[in-house]
Amino acid sequence: DGGITQSPKYLFRKEGQNVTLSCEQNLNHDAMYWYRQDPGQGLRLIYYSQIVNDFQKGDIAEGYSVSREKKESFPLTVTSAQKNPTAFYLCASSMVGGTYEQYFGPGTRLTVT
Amino acid sequence: GESVGLHLPTLSVQEGDNSIINCAYSNSASDYFIWYKQESGKGPQFIIDIRSNMDKRQGQRVTVLLNKTVKHLSLQIAATQPGDSAVYFCAVSNTDKLIFGTGTRLQVFP
């Protein structure tokens, strides 16, 4: 089956710890994206990447970091510098260009206490 | 920068009625528009998309209308069913990414 996987579905961390969220796709897409969603809100772009070894900041990149060492993988690290990390995180992929459907993973709900 | 807004945060409809969800955008250069459905705790699912060279596109029970003059996009769902209950997002292209609206929650009652 082709698609995007995110793991884990639920993640709990203590304040002050860094945590890495996994995102893998087997759709052969060049572009990958990370979004944050807060209750009752839309999707806000954290980082995106259009090619291996390159990525760009989105609207809310502060306190987050990413890497893109492989086409299939785009992990997101939520650092201790992120002031309000508790949220639902969504990963997506698409063909390059911004004018194609983005395919979403099932999401990871991160709770930091 | 680009902004995308939805006209109503919540829409309640009776089962069997038609639903219309609206979206406004600000960038006249946007050329790709897409609607997603998101059920609670899940990732958004593609419903239908449209490019700027069209003003209407139909799918199964869904129609998207694009009015570039007033920068307005709508999603019509025919014969709304309980399974249509979800949050609906529009997204609009902005160079190399999509900008998402805040979502409309569709509630279907019997």
> What is the bridge-based pairing of β-strands B97-100 and B32-38?
unpaired
Q: Pull the structure tokens for residue A88.
A: 């639902």
> What is the bridge-based pairing of β-strands B32-38 and A19-25?
unpaired
Query: Residue A61 is which amino acid?
Result: A
Q: What is the pLDDT of residue B94?
A: 87
Checking phi first, is residue A96 left (phi over 0); if not, alpha (psi -120 to 50) or beta?
A: beta
Q: For B5, what's the count of Cα atoms within 13 Å in the CB-facing half-sphere?
A: 6
- Cα A35–chain centre separation: 6
How does DSSP assign A49-64, residue by residue?
EEETTEEEE-TT-TTE
Q: What is the pLDDT of residue B4?
A: 81
Q: What is the pLDDT of residue A2?
A: 65
With a cut of 50, which residues of chain B have pLDDT below it?
none
Instruction: Decide if B31 and A106 are in contact by the 8 Å CB cutoff.
Output: no
Q: Out of B93, B96, B101, name the one closest to residue A42 (CB).
A: B101
**Average pLDDT, consecutive stretches of 10 residues, N- to C-terminus, chain A (113 residues):** 88 94 97 94 94 96 97 97 95 90 96 94
Q: What is the pLDDT of residue A97?
A: 79
Q: What is the pLDDT of residue A28?
A: 96
Q: Flag whether residue A95 sits within 8 Å of chain B, measured between CB atoms.
A: no
Q: Out of B43, B94, B97, name the one closest to residue A90 (CB).
A: B43
Q: What is the pLDDT of residue B109?
A: 94
